[in-house]
Structure formats: C-alpha cells, structure tokens
Chains A and B, each alone.
Chain A
C-alpha cells in the first residue's frame, strides 16, 4: 500500500496536465461585469488575493498538482482530483462573493478562462485516474452518484450563490423546475415510445431479411436530417393535422409545442433501437436457437426466454445511445415551443446572457452522463458471459 502510494517517474501526460494547470492559475480566474449583459472584466488570482493568501493558495495548488502528477495509486489520484475540483468550485464562489458586493447590485461574477481551464484539466486528471481503477459498471454508477451528491451539496450551500449562473437560477427557480420536468418528459417520453415501436421493428428486420435494408435505409435518412431542420419540419404536418382533425387538436397536438418535438426525438431514436435490436437478435448463435427448438420451446418461449435475453446487452446499448442522444437533443425542442432546458439556452442567446445559456446547457450534460452510467450498470446486470 505504501509502495503504491510512493512517487515514481512522472507520467508524461499527467506532467503536461499539471503544467497546464499551473499555467491556468495565471489566467483570469473570474470575470466581473457591471450588469448581466455588460462586458466582462477579467480578474486574475494576483488581482483578487492579498499577497499572503495568494502565496498560500499557490503553494497548496503546487503541492496538489505535484501529488496528482507523481502519485502512483490511481485511487489516491481519483480522490485528490475530486477534492481539487471541489476546491476550485469553492474558490470560484469565495472569490465571487466580495467582488460582487464591491461592484454593485447589478454586477455579475462568473468563472473566468483560468477557472474553466482548471476545471477541465482537473476533470481530465480524474478521468485518467478513474479509468486506471478499471471499476465495474456498478462501482462507476456509485462513484457518479457520490460526485452528484457532492455537487448537489455544493449547490445547496451558499458557497456558489454569488455566481452569475446561480443568480440566473434564483431569478427563474420556478420555471427551472417546470422546464426540467418538461425536459425529462420530452427525452423520456420519446425514448419510451421509440422502444415500444423500435424493438418490434428490429425484431421484424431480424426475421425478414428483405425488409431490413429499406427500413434501415429510411431510418438512416431520418438520422441525417439536421436537428434544427427536423424540429422545423415537424411543424407543418402536425399543424395540418391539428387544423383538419379536431380530435388530434383536442389531445393538445399542434404544429408547435411538445407534440412535434416528441415526434422528432422519436424519429431520431428509431435507428439506434431498430439497428441494435436487429444486431442483437442476429448475434444469437445458431446452435442455441437449434437447441431451443429441439428442446420444445415454442416460438414465443424461444423469443422471450432465449432470443431477447441474449440480445439484451446489445439492445440496451442501443437504448443507452438513444437516451443520451435524446437528453441532449431535447434542448433543441425549445426552438419550437416544446419547453425543456433549451428555453434558457435560447433566452440566453437572445439576451447575449452567457450564464443563462450555461444554466440551460449544463443540466442536460449532467443528466446525460447520469443516464449513461445508469444504463451501463443495467447492462452489467444481464446474466451470462461478459460481452
């Protein structure tokens, strides 16, 4: 244990990351604007901190970076990089408080280029060390949840409250919650619908060799439509449907809103699900299917007890792609009035308020990462040989 903690010859990649972090310390740590759409004025650590504290911060940073470069035990680097990330986030908050107070009631403080670079490089330190740990999917999910809990605790404390993005959040707390729910509805609803339709379609494509090329071809064509165009395209047919079919209109189907966004996300989701379902089913070895028949399983028993379970890891891999993809794409739905986190992105773009854009962009990223970890853990639960 002591031996694995001991320093060794520095790893080239980690050394480069460490030097990058050192350089980032010299970049503007935060930026201050007189108002939320004002021009940013960068502030370096040298400008923010009194000399004594600056020295302490630099010494601590150098020690942590040296340890991240030299420590041999991956778990120690995982722990240290997480602590460093939390430290940088806390540092941003600590720096923002006095600066905001001093610059006036409308002033905004946001992380600067240096802080973003530090966060990114430390995240790379973390992923490098975490990948060396070679954790199983369940452990990865566990670690992800721990990090998420830590992040939630940090957000719940007042430490980050002075930051501009948090001000944007506080001004929209109610609509943030409803747009979050709407985002989950868009991504989850289209995912569920695509599973219900896509898995049987994949089964059909696996069974009927002649059907597969045209079906997969059509779905591939859909996949190539740019998302902005796709969401726009959905307005026309659904608008026409709403105008000419009163029952559809009564269900809330209109040319703009959730319905066309759900339809667009659903269409994008079909190719990965149909394709993976087909590949999963085709990958079941012939000897196993022959055994199933010879043992007297009927067609339905063969499908549910043998084919689907054996295709499940591949099928779930398709589902994982779709879930992550839909959580990201649902952001675009706001363009046609579907709601979701995209609302803040487009509002922010319209108001040139970068922190509002971030408020809409960061939550889907976190959600997508969580969904990927969840699906990986689910895939690992499928019994049988490791695939």
Chain B
C-alpha cells in the first residue's frame, strides 16, 4: 500500500513540475531557516558547557546600591572569592580574572626585535587553568604559573608572536614595567562558545594592582568564579539559601575595608546602601546577563534567541501554509483520482493516509534540499551573524532523529488540511464532473491562510525598515561633535614628555587640521567618580549633594579638534592657569541645578578635596551608543593631574581624502618619536559604528529572514493564483465570450489578492508598531516610526504580490474560451 502511495506521489510530483517545485522549494526554505536558526540557538545555548565542572561553576556578581548608583555587575572586589570559600564549606574553590586592557609587548622573532599591542590579555589566578579546564597543547595546568612571571598563550597568539617556532621558553617583555615574562604553556584556541575570550594569560601574582587592592571591598576590577563541591546541592533553592547567608558574611569580612575608605559598613547600610554578592550559574552567563553590567566581554541575550526562534517557526508555518494552499489548488486534478479510489473501495481513512504520506514524502525531499542549502549558506550566515556554526553538529543521532521527526510532523501538519479537504468530496459528484470548489467555507480558510502569510511578511518588512532607519539615524545623527575624519592613536602616554612634541610635529603636517591629547575619548573610555558641587544659594532646593561625573583629562586643543561646541564661558587655554578649572556639559549643569554655572566649584573628595572652578559649559555630546542617554560629563585640564589612569589617546583631525598617505605620514612621525612602540590607530567614526555591531548583525539577519518569508509567501500567493484561475476557468471563458478584454480579466483576478494583502497589512500595522516601539525603547535617542514606513511596507508587498500573480492571471485571461467551455 505504502509503495502504491509513494509511487503515485512521485508520479504526481513529476507530472506537475511547477507546482512541485514551488511546493518543495517553499518547504525547503522553511526547513533551511529552521535548521539555521536551530543551529544558531543550539550554539547560543551551548556557551560555557564544555568544562568538566560546568554545572558546579558560578560567576559571582555584585548587587550594589551606593548613593544614586544601583545595579548588578559581573565584577567583584578582590577578596570576595577567598571570603566565600572560607565561610561556606559547600564552595570548593574560586578563581579570579582581571582584564588589564591593551598592553604593548616587546619580543624577538628570528633575531629581530619587534613589538605588538596585545588586546586580549587576561590576568588570572594561578589555579585558573585547573578551575576551567581549557585544553592545553603544551605545558601543565598545575605548574604553568608556578613562576610568577609566566605567560600562557593560545595557539593563535603563539603564531602571532613566534610564527612556527615553539613558543615555550620564549620571552615577552611588557612595555608597561619592562618586565620579561616566559611562555610556559600553550592553550588550544578558546572556543567561541566560551564567555571568557582571551589570547594570553598572566597571573595575578605578577600584576601589582591586584596585590595593592587586595584588601579593598570597593575596588571592582576583578571577576570571581566559584566552584561548588561535587556533592553540594546545586538546585535553585539551595543556591538561594547560600546567597541569603552572604550579607552577614560581608558585614564581618568587609568591615575593616569599609572603615578604611571612610564609610563604616553600618553607616553605609543605614544610608540605604547595599553591597551583596550573588551567584549566577556559569551556563546562564552568556544569555541571561542583559541586566548585569560588565566591561569584560560581549554577552548574548536570550531575547534574541526567542526572537529568532519565533521567526523560524513563523517561516516554517508559512511554508506549511503554502503546502496546504498549493495542495488544495491541485485538488481539481486530484479529485478524480480520489473519486475513483473511493469507488474502488478505498476508505476515507486510507485516502487521508495516502495524502499525508505524500505530504511526508514532499517534506522529506524538502528536508534533503534544505540540508544542502544550509551547508551552502552556512559560511555566509556565519559572516552575517558573527558566529562559527558548523553543519557537522547536526549530524548526530539525536539531532538527525529530531530533524526527521520534525519533517514528518511537518508533513502530517501540512498534509492534513488538503487530505481532509479532498477526501470529503462526494465521489458521485466528482465523477460527474461537477464543480467541487464552490464551497465558501474552504475559500475562507484558504484566504485566511494567505492573509496570515502576508501578515507575517508585512510585520517583518516593517520591522526591518524600522531597524534600518534606527541604524541610519545612529550613523548620521549629530553627536554634538564631528566624528568624521578623526584618527585615534592610543598609548601616546607611553612617550612620556615627548608626546607634546609629537603632537606639535603632527599639527605641522599639511594633511592634519588639529591634534589633541587626552586620557579618554568618546566611544573609547572615560573616568568616572563622584563629585560634590557647590550649593547655589539662589536655588538650594534643586541642588544635589553629589553628582557622578564621567570625565576626560584634556589639553587645550581637545575641544577644537573634536569640534565640541561651547554654550557659555571659555575653553582651556595656555593663557590661563587652568589646572583647577573644569568644563561641564549641559546635562551635568542641569543635574546639579545651577542657574549660573560659570565660576561655581565642584570638589573631588578622591584627591584631597581638590576644588575645580567651572570656566565653561559645553553643549551636550554623545560618548556612547544611542542606547544610553547623555551622561553628565566633565573635562579637566591636563595639568590638573586630578587622577592617574593608564589610558591616553592622541586624537588627530585630518583633511578628507587620501587617507593612506595621511596615515603614512602620521606613522612616520610616530616612528621617529617611538621607534620601539607599535603604531596602532583607528578612525573615530568606525569606533562609533562598532558600538552598533550587534544591532547591525540583527538587522542583517532580520532582513535575510524577511526576504525569505516574503518569497515563501509569494510562492503561496502564486499557488492561490493558480487555484483561482483554475476555479474560475469557466467564468473567465463566459466573460470573454461576452466581450471582456484580457485587461478586464486580469484586473478582476488581481483585485481579490490586492484585497487580501490590504487586510494583511492593516492587521500587521498595530503588531509591527507595538513590537518596534518596544525595541526602540532600548534607545535613549531614537528615530520615529513614521506613517510612511507602513505605507512603504504595504506598497512593497503589494508590488511583489502583483508581479507574482500577474503571470498566472494573464495566462488565464488569454486562454481560448472555447476550450474551457467545451470541457463542461
């Protein structure tokens, strides 16, 4: 029986090539999307699960409230790990990490002295490689840090520094403190599914700040991980019980540290402060950290997993709808067969089985094509989504069975409607040749299905347009300064006193407009701390006692080089002694509540109550992505030396055009002043662009899936057009005999579809508006959802629809009416 079904299905498939191709390719696209999205999700869910003890490892997060600052961060004070391990017997061990930022390394390769900037250095406790079993190629996890000045490289880093030579025993010198480090081990490259990403490890013992702040419970540069004992209960309730005991522990352990910074823990608590540690399962770190701040690593977001899962399911649904529509469209041809089979003794159930078998066959064929498609598309998808997915991971017994099962279920799902539809025909009527497709009910379902398809497509089209619009907005909106044609050269501080001479030399270059030196830059880094503003006697009510200010220490060329605009007062100048002067932005002034800010002072408790006088107010400028609103900012003059940080930037505004030559001449000057330091540079507009990398990725992936869903929906539309043309053959014939022109008929046939697309659009508008409004809420500065987006989306889908159906309509309209009427 099955053989008979498969045979007839296959012959039908061959006979109706066009429909079969549409049908199978629609399903194949659906499957390909599901498989791709499945791979993506599987990858997202597999982060940090490859460690032997993954289930027992927790990241320690700090849940803090200090003054106006409140939130959870993935960083902890240095003593947190040891305190936890000491106080809670269920904790077996802990390890800590610290991201020191860029380091310049000097080394020798093939007898040549070289230097490079290393961006992926991680400072770790010496048990790090025993705690996390990242696989080693050379060396021993237990002993690789037994010497303090040891380095562990990944294969990638080993190749970068020493090529094909064996790296073990080689020396790398840190420019910072001129200390030589010896490579003791080589790691396999860190898999992408690790939330910790690094190319080089050095121990905390070798990194002075860790020892320096070892006592501090408020220095939050470290990350801490703890591992539970194998037999310790790890369910949510037990972890929550453990967490509930932590505040009492902190009250004891942190008491002296809090006292030392001038704020006893009791007093801190009384003022409404909170300083609490939470344990987050390592497996959750990648996807469930959207609200947990970290400067360390890029984190995924479970939200996108849900969004993509929904898109995948919707596209699959669209493909199923296609199958249903096309199969019922075929039903006129198939109905005779159904009638005969009934007359020959087939039960209804057997016929249903036959059609479902057929659908499953189509679905399996589609699956095979889809797998081929996935393998072909994967490299492009990887590039698009910034992932390293491999189709190989699909080929294990569990997934193959799952996928096959999914294809079968899809077959049953997609085949059931046509099966019930067709087998419900009365054989006597079929064989008499009466028109079976007059039923209004089934037409309603079919139209409903098409409306559903275009509803999904239109929603996706609108979302894509809005996301693009926001990206363009982010790129073109005024930041409060001119980010174009700015070259950033980091680490200029390493030049010491000669950095100013380098700057002067650069300004003299004909291609250079201006150059400035600062400790921070928009889109790069800044320093943040709490300041106390002078109270305004005229306006004491609104004055806040403290204000958190982000700041850069800059020279007098900084404001003109970036193109920041002054709204009052003056900028730094060599004509004055500005070491106790400060420039504030408008947001800072507004937050403080000063009516007349010029001449007012702020005090910095961090540096012996250093006092700064406001000499000017800057118009607001953006320093981060548009997701964040503009923060209160301050610029201090370089001679103030109000704080000491390592970051330093040379900002060069250049003339547009001929960038390569300009960069070459800047590099030549750099070489002159710093022959042993590598020349690194970036463009500020590119740095700003990179703030939106995940948004861009999402918009690209979204647009691909939108295109796919539109094309699948169009295939469905084509099917429905064929169906309608077939159903109305006789009507068209009569109309033509009565004098209708081809154009009349085409219009008549198209009108129905235009109506469906319009209904779909109207239903899509509120949903798309709601979804996008919600998405845009993430941005402090956002584009509007204008009415024209909706119109554009409908016009686009409408145009694609008309093109799709016109072929079929025209074909039906130019057919010879005599033929269609004779067959009655």
Q: Are A and B interaction partners? A: no
Q: Which residues of B contact A (CB under 8 A)?
A: none
A residues bordering B, Cβ < 8 Å?
A: none
